[in-house]
Amino acid sequence: MPSAPEGMNRTGNHQMIHPLLPTPSLWQTKVRDTIPARFAWPLFWNGDQFCWDLTWEEISECSSRRAMGVCGCCGALRPRYKRLVDNIFPEDPEDGLVKTNMEKLTFYALSAPEKLDRIGAYLSERLIRDVGRHRYGYVCIAMEALDQLLMACHCQSINLFVESFLKMVAKLLESEKSNLQILGTNSFVKFANIEEDTPSYHRSYDFFVSRFSEMCHSSHDELEIRTKIRMSGIKGLQGVVRKTVNDELQANIWDPQHMDKIVPSLLFNLQHAEEAESRSPSPLQATEKEKESPTELAERCLRELLGRAAYGNIKNAIKPVLIHLDNHSLWEPKTFAIRCFKIIMYSIQPQHSHLVIQQLLGHLDANSKSAATVRAGIVEVLSEAAVIAASGSVGPTVLEVFNTLLRQLRLSIDYELTGSYDCAVVSTKIIKEHEERMFQEAVIKTTGSFASTLPTYQRSEVMLFIMSKVPLPSLHHAIDAGKAGENRNRLTQIMLLKSLLQVSTGFQCSNMLTALPSSFLDRLLSAALMEDADLRLFVLEILISFIDRHGNRPKFSTISTINDISVLKLKVDKCSRQDTVFMKKHSQQLYRHIYLTSKEESNVQPHYEALYSMLALISIELANEEVVVDLIRLVLAVQEIAQINEDNLPVYNRCALYALGAAYLNLISQLTTVPAFCQHIHEVLETRQKEAPYLLPEDVFVEMPRLTKSLDHLVPEVFFRQSKISEVLGGSGYNSDRLSTPYIPQLTDEDRLSKRKSIGETISLQVEVESRNSPEKEERAPAEEITYETLKKAIVDSVAVEEQERERRRLVVEKFQKAPFEEIAAHCGARASLLQSKLNQIFEITIRPPPSPSGTITAAYGQPQNHSIPVYEMKFPDLCVY
């Protein structure tokens, strides 16, 4: 029989003792030393019956009613619950819990739930005593009993019982013995899985969170025990989370004070996966392979935690992750950081994923001055996270995301150029150029992966945004002067265009007109981006990725003259109406760009390849008859560049242009399937093959171009002739008039004034400037003798005509720009009324109105008129005038 606790006055249930009774410590200890427990419960006369089953209170109540003398025999009384509790402990702790007595206790607790808290208190008292006396066998038994009671009695009365229970767990956790810590944790985990229906406002888990987090960091000497303690810690944390996460009234587990402990503890265990596995597993561990490692457990716990995080809690949960990665410098090898964020992104509720992205972006900003490798790590993580979050990654602030990335890009360029993080302060850190480069590449890649998650309309918005950030010389933006400024501009332009290229790859717009608005195209095609060979190539690539919507691009990656294009298996759709409108509006700009780009001396093979792809893709994606005609004219004009050679291009460039023309005309002739056209092209190609193979792509666009020394003495048969082409195509219904007119690039104001300034907005009037007054050009064969005089005349003439045309255009534009709105309206209105009267006349001639024209007309003007009005009576609404 267990001896009575010392200091019963301190730990006993004081309020049970009636004030009239003598101090319990005195008589309890005295009597119990002499009477065995099972006989300690005397018969008690209660009115007219003997009571065996009276509780302590009942007896003390009775005794207070009677004379004090009766109490003498009450000295041996022990409350029944205590007796039941005592009985579950065996004589020898090795024997384990006395099962039958435990059943009795459980039955008693179930039938008298109000006693549960006292049972708990007594059990805990015994347990604390046993811990103090190192009687661990009894400790285990007490815990087992508690667990069983807890499981049996999960009802509303559990609340008070839990108090004692938690105190016992805490007591076990305070111990230095790992066994007790684990025992306590296991009980706690069982408890955590019970759902309580009554909240307990005053319960606090501070100690548990602190202690479990500490256990997660256990540094016990023995690996096996250390692993066990760490696992216990993780399970404990999981328990706390489960217990509290759903109950707003309980301790808020999402507070930073808890999160700052829980999250790093889990990450710490997650991070040590390799370390633990690399140690040779003992045979014991090998057999328990099915058991989880701390790493797996930590991962599961982290997932559970994040899965439960609500909108407002994400921040508190993610911040410790970022700080942990900072502190343990885990951005640099980045595998762990990526793993962490993969876990986060996959387990978090998808509608919250943009919050994570935002926090990462914020962290990137906060780390602006950290080493490039750290920033690169963060950006890589961002890129991975964005892919997982897919459509949810960007959230409501689309441009903010890209703005941050572009800002980082610019900062990095600055760092690279200035060589320090801060211009004013001499930085101690050395900036490594190649690391900055790596960072920039990472940012560009990330920009791409973000953009790929966006819907089409947002993507083109983003592209506009990026384009607007490209520094271009204009009136509004003074460009940095000086060599450094120019260098910086160039780098910025390159980086931004690269990002743009990333964003545009894989972009499939159904409507070119909305995807490529004038504001975008104007900037992209601006002269400033044409001077530099790299930039020029980027611009071409971006255009190509826009135009190529059927993945035909790879088929044109090498320039060649193949006999049968069917081997390419081109995917061709009919050019849509919107595309036709787009070409009407912007084709001249595009042609001009192609023309001017081909003229550049610094072009190398990739440029020509890009030009070829561009021409080919326009022909496939956007071509109608008119466009085909224009493209042929354009290519012939390009041939002329090489032929006349005003710019003194080197032989390579000229050959390349000839070859480009040959390849394209070969392609287009087969696309148009006009036999005579194909015939002509074929003939020229054959002649070249014999006479001048260096004018064919097969000889030019190879690693070692086989060129000739001089291109001065070429026979006319090696050239494609405009007159011939217009003749053969005219026969097949193509516009031969237009075909026979040589292409001259449309000049913009930008060119006219200077290459460095542009006039605010160029109103694009679709007036084709054609110099019809130079018939020589049409007829001119290369062999024909051209004198200086004729050339001069031709140029002066065409310029004069052009000047007139331009003047007229300017007047019109000016009128529309300067005249008050009413005046323009009146002008148009006058025309409209003229039309109206004409229409009235026509309608008067016809006696009866057509049966149902009103429907179509009202629909066309969007007027909700349901009743039929004869068309001739209908007035055009005023709005239509404007």
* DSSP reduced 3-state for 756: coil
The DSSP annotation for 312-349 comes to: GGHHHHHHHHHHHHHHTT-SSS-HHHHHHHHHHHHHS-
Q: Which of residues 132-151 bind other proteins (CB under 8 A)?
A: 132
Closest CB to other proteins among 124 and 598? 124
* 217 in contact with other proteins (CB under 8 A): yes
Helical residues (DSSP H) of 153-219, grouped into ranges: 158-174, 178-192, 206-216
Closest CB to other proteins among 134 and 202? 202
* 121 in contact with other proteins (CB under 8 A): yes
Q: How far is the CB of 37 from other proteins (least distance, A)?
A: 22
* 125 in contact with other proteins (CB under 8 A): yes
Interface stretch with other proteins, choices 56-64, 524-532, 723-731, 786-794 (CB under 8 A): 56-64
CA-nearest of 231, 238, 175, 157 to 205 is: 238
235, 324, 498, 599: which one binds other proteins (CB under 8 A): 324
Per-position x/- string for 8-47, each x denoting binding to other proteins as judged by CB under 8 A, each - no binding: --xx--xxx-------------------------------
Q: Which of residues 779-838 bind other proteins (CB under 8 A)?
A: none
Interface stretch with other proteins, choices 55-63, 455-463, 500-508, 536-544 (CB under 8 A): 55-63
Q: What is the 3-state secondary structure (H, E, C) of 582-614?
A: HHHHHHHHHHHHHHHHHHCCCCCHHHHHHHHHH
Q: Which of residues 262-281 bind other proteins (CB under 8 A)?
A: 264-265, 268
Amino acid in the structure at residue 404: T
Closest CB to other proteins among 61 and 647? 61
Closest CB to other proteins among 200 and 518? 200
Identify whether the C-beta of residue 128 lies closer than 8 Å to the C-beta of residue 171: yes
- In DSSP terms, which residues pair with 44 in a beta bridge? 51
* 211 in contact with other proteins (CB under 8 A): yes
Amino acid in the structure at residue 444: I
25, 64, 87, 257: which one binds other proteins (CB under 8 A): 257
Closest CB to other proteins among 197 and 703? 197
Cβ neighbour number for residue 412 with a 10 Å cutoff: 25
Query: How many residues in the shown chain lie near other proteins by CB under 8 A?
Result: 55
Closest CB to other proteins among 169 and 725? 169
Q: How far is the CB of 374 from other proteins (least distance, A)?
A: 14
* 203 in contact with other proteins (CB under 8 A): yes
41, 205, 254, 341: which one binds other proteins (CB under 8 A): 205
Interface stretch with other proteins, choices 258-266, 385-393, 773-781, 868-876 (CB under 8 A): 258-266
Identify whether the C-beta of residue 442 lies closer than 8 Å to the C-beta of residue 380: yes
CA-nearest of 703, 684, 690, 526 to 604 is: 703
Q: How far is the CB of 163 from other proteins (least distance, A)?
A: 4
Distance CA 214, CA 224 (A): 17
Secondary structure element (H or E) that encloses residue 698, with its range: helix 697-700
* 114 in contact with other proteins (CB under 8 A): yes
206, 422, 803, 823: which one binds other proteins (CB under 8 A): 206
| CA count, 13 A, side-chain hemisphere, 572 | 16
Q: Strand 44-46 to strand 49-51: parallel, antiparallel, or no bridges (unpaired)?
A: antiparallel
58, 196, 532, 727: which one binds other proteins (CB under 8 A): 58
Q: How far is the CB of 164 from other proteins (least distance, A)?
A: 7
Distance CA 738, CA 789 (A): 27
* DSSP reduced 3-state for 508: coil
Identify whether the C-beta of residue 162 lies closer than 8 Å to the C-beta of residue 147: no
Q: How far is the CB of 275 from other proteins (least distance, A)?
A: 12
Q: How far is the CB of 482 from other proteins (least distance, A)?
A: 43
* 432 in contact with other proteins (CB under 8 A): no
* 213 in contact with other proteins (CB under 8 A): yes
Determine whether 790 is exposed, middle or buried from the number of CB atoms within 10 Å of its CB (0-12, 13-18, 19+).
Answer: middle
| CA count, 13 A, side-chain hemisphere, 223 | 12
Determine whether 359 is exposed, middle or buried from the number of CB atoms within 10 Å of its CB (0-12, 13-18, 19+).
Answer: middle
Closest CB to other proteins among 57 and 751? 57
86, 260, 304, 802: which one binds other proteins (CB under 8 A): 260
Phi, psi for residue 40 in degrees, rounded to 5: -75, -10
* 283 in contact with other proteins (CB under 8 A): no
Interface stretch with other proteins, choices 53-61, 497-505, 712-720, 869-877 (CB under 8 A): 53-61
Helical residues (DSSP H) of 395-455, grouped into ranges: 398-418, 433-452
CA-nearest of 372, 384, 261 to 323 is: 261
* 214 in contact with other proteins (CB under 8 A): yes
List of residues 6+ apart from 317 with CB closer than 8 A = 254, 259, 263, 305, 306, 309
Q: Which of residues 151-190 bind other proteins (CB under 8 A)?
A: 160, 162-167, 169-170, 174-176
Closest CB to other proteins among 206 and 873? 206
Q: For residue 216, how far is the Cα from the chain centroid?
A: 33
* 329 in contact with other proteins (CB under 8 A): yes
Distance CA 113, CA 119 (A): 10
Closest CB to other proteins among 316 and 587? 316
Binding residues for other proteins (CB under 8 A): 10-11, 14-16, 57-58, 61, 114, 117, 121, 124-125, 128, 132, 160, 162-167, 169-170, 174-176, 202-208, 210-211, 213-214, 216-219, 256-257, 260-261, 264-265, 268, 320, 323-324, 327-329
